[in-house]
Amino acid sequence: MKMRRNLYGSLGLLSLLGLIGIFTEAKSFLAFFAFVVDFEYLFMESDEMLEESMNRSASRAFYLGMVSVALVALVCFFGRLTDEKQALIAGLGAGWAVSVVVYALSTAYYGFRERWGLERDSD
């Protein structure tokens, strides 16, 4: 289980890419600082409930990200907003953003739900 904890916690290393946004004009890299919250998994005990919630969050983020790639690319392409290359780039960018947001919100939801349940049982 320690291996999983280290794997989840190492996602926080992606936050280092946010430094590019600080030291350059590419401010879109600042969004990578959202991954800093994943360092908390290095200090949590991994159990079956955590594993299940992480798997649910990851699968939900993957599927919604793929759907958004298709929808954005199709809307951009058939709406004649851009050429096919730019439509695909827009779709991939939107899919990545949706995946990150859905994963973050989903893991936060499961974490709050677990903490609330534990606090409620201790009363």
In the chain, domain spans: 1-46, 47-123
Q: Percent of the chain having pLDDT more than 70?
A: 90
Average pLDDT, integer, range 69-88: 89
Cα-to-chain-centroid distance, residue 29: 15
The mean pLDDT value of the chain amounts to 84
* Integer Cα distance of 49 and 113 in angstroms: 11
Overall pTM > 0.95: no
* Band of pLDDT at residue 94, cut at 50, 70 and 90: very high
Q: Report whether 82 contacts 74 (CB < 8 A).
A: no
